[in-house]
Amino acid sequence: MRILVALVMVVASALPAAAQPAPEARAILRALEDAFTAVAVRVTPAVVNVSTVPKRGAPMEEIPEQFREFFDEFKRRRPESRSTGSGVIVDPNGYILTNNHVIENAAEITVRLSDARKFTATLVGRDPKTDLAVLKVEAPAPLPVAELGDSDALRIGQWAIAIGNPFGLDRTVTVGIISATARTRVGVATYENFIQTDASINPGNSGGPLLNLDGRVIGVNTAIVAAGQGIGFAIPINQAKEVMRQLMSRGRVVRGWLGIVIQDLTEDLAQGFGVREREGVLVADIMASGPAAGSGLKPGDIIVEFGGAEIKELPELQRRVAAVTPGQHVDVTVMRDGKRVPVRITVGEMPTDEPVAALEPLDDQWGLRVEPVTPDIARRLELPRPAGVIVAAVKSGGAADRAGLQRGDVLLELDGRPITDAGAFTRHLEGLTTGQSVRLYLHRPGGESSRHFVMLERRTPEP
């Protein structure tokens, strides 16, 4: 963009005096240049280089042909070599937002800041369905943070600024515009709602921020169409905010689920059902044990409204269902035999094979690892509702073991306050010093006394 401004100024200087741009026009060009520079100066300290050493022999997911060149940098690396990407610091305590494909199957993750400091990062959580991940580094002082914007307010044609590390060229700044919004069926992730931009994005930019002219993050740069030019995609920051919040608090993402098989309403199918193409989503099957079983929904129904919002295509329905908190009732309208039929469904929790990332390592100080209590776990343990955190592992001889904690215990309260999520629980323990202790109230399934108190004390680890 600076080249463009310079070209304008050169051309202007070559014109006769009467044809040169008015002082007001020159001031506008200068103000635009200053805006780009201000964004670079303010945000670059919050952009990090993320490098990884892959696990030996770890496979990577197959990438669609049109994006393969963009991902080759990550796929072709030998196990002993490093792959690089970008990230953006979103919390002064060291939380970093990046792409899942940047850190996927990493045995070691290193983060380098703009001041050249290096930290070993831990994986807080990852979400392959949106291609997002959250890392954490332990720094001696608060880190610079990028301000998050509002991607729902984007307008096609407005300026877009990308900062990242393409091909290892640290903190490269490129400028373009927002070419389109709400791009789906790109083929990169399950839940797609991409921002399209022509700001230059290359391998190594993945995970870096896409910014507006105010320097606020509006997206996470993710992919390009390798066969094209100026066609890049970024995950909207509003979508990333919710994923990031859940990864930081739970270590995983909880999504709503209907337990139905759906498909696009093609032109032929639309004619067969007597409706218009892309005017709803066709229900192909109902899972016998899924949330929609018994709701009255039937194969052949065409979902046209979900929770009061009009539904036109499959990706839109997927996103709206996923955004519902499990356990909520949602009103759905379907077309059946040419008539609109109301159906009410209690949304369940989407099953996942994705392991929960350990929010903190099982260390010598506590010897404890916890995970969220999901609705399924709550039902299995006969808890009245999902609450607290469940003990996933206890190290022999550690503080948790000395306190009498066991794998499978559900921790409900900490010093009399309800435990709401795993992230808050582990962060509270982090703040304690040697010799300090906390009172835990727990539920132990199958025990003679199912609920009781224990004291957990932080001690200096024994040699």
Which positions are catalytic? 101, 131, 206
d(CA 261, CA 124): 32
CA distances from 289 to 258, 259, 260, 286, 321 (A): 10, 8, 10, 9, 17
d(CA 91, CA 116): 19
Four-point Cα dihedral 113, 118, 119, 125, nearest 10: 50
Write phi, then psi, for 279 (nearest 5 degrees).
-120, 50
d(CA 133, CA 378): 27
* 152, two tokens: 């729902």
* 157, two tokens: 């044609």
* 83, two tokens: 């792959």
Closest by CA position to 326, among listed 388, 391, 378, 284: 378
Supply the DSSP string of 132-145, one letter for each residue.
EEEEE---SSPPP-
3-state secondary structure of 331: strand
Give me the residues paired with residue 125 across strands: 134
Give me the residues paired with residue 453 across strands: 441
Sequence-distant contacts of 138-143: CB under 8 A, at least 24 apart: 138/94, 139/94, 142/92, 142/93, 143/46, 143/89, 143/92, 143/93, 143/94, 143/113
CA distances from 180 to 57, 177, 183, 190, 191 (A): 38, 9, 7, 19, 17
Four-point Cα dihedral 151, 153, 158, 160, nearest 10: -20
The answer to whether 124 and 95 have CB atoms below 8 angstroms apart is: yes
The secondary structure of 170-207, three-state, reads: CCEEEEEEEEEEEECCCCCCCCCCEEEECCCCCCCCCC
The answer to whether 367 and 400 have CB atoms below 8 angstroms apart is: yes
d(CA 423, CA 248): 6
The answer to whether 199 and 219 have CB atoms below 8 angstroms apart is: no
d(CA 220, CA 231): 15
